[in-house]
């Protein structure tokens, strides 16, 4: 089987998907609650996040896209 087929997901691709999902969920938390998960975990400026309504909407959409990816990503390889 060709390793580039969609039914074969490498460990590296799964790692990348996890990073993207974590990033998107962080953006979603910023959009919904103005709370930065990465800053809370690893330190940094935890002051109030100011964003326009349009920016906040974008953060929310990216967060929802991350949730969708988490549930639709082919985590298991399908073998014929």
Q: Maximum distance among all alpha carbons in the chain?
A: 52
- The whole-model pTM stands at 0.66
- pLDDT on residue 1: 46
pLDDT band for 79, please (50, 70, 90 cuts).
Answer: low
- Dist CA 31 CA 62 (whole Å): 9
Q: Does residue 78 surpass a pLDDT of 80?
A: no
Where are the domains positioned within the chain? 30-74
| pLDDT single digits (tens) 11-44 | 888 999 998 998 999 999 989 998 888 788 888 7
- pLDDT on residue 64: 92
| pLDDT single digits (tens) 50-65 | 768 887 888 889 989 9
């Amino acid at each position: 089987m060709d390793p580039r087929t969609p039914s074969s997901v490498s460990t590296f691709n799964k790692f990348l998907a996890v990073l993207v999902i974590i990033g998107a969920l962080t953006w979603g938390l910023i959009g919904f609650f103005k709370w930065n998960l990465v800053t809370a975990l690893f330190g940094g400026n935890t002051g109030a996040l100011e964003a326009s309504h349009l920016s906040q909407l974008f953060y929310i959409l990216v967060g929802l896209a991350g949730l969708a990816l988490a549930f639709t990503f082919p985590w298991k390889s399908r073998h014929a």
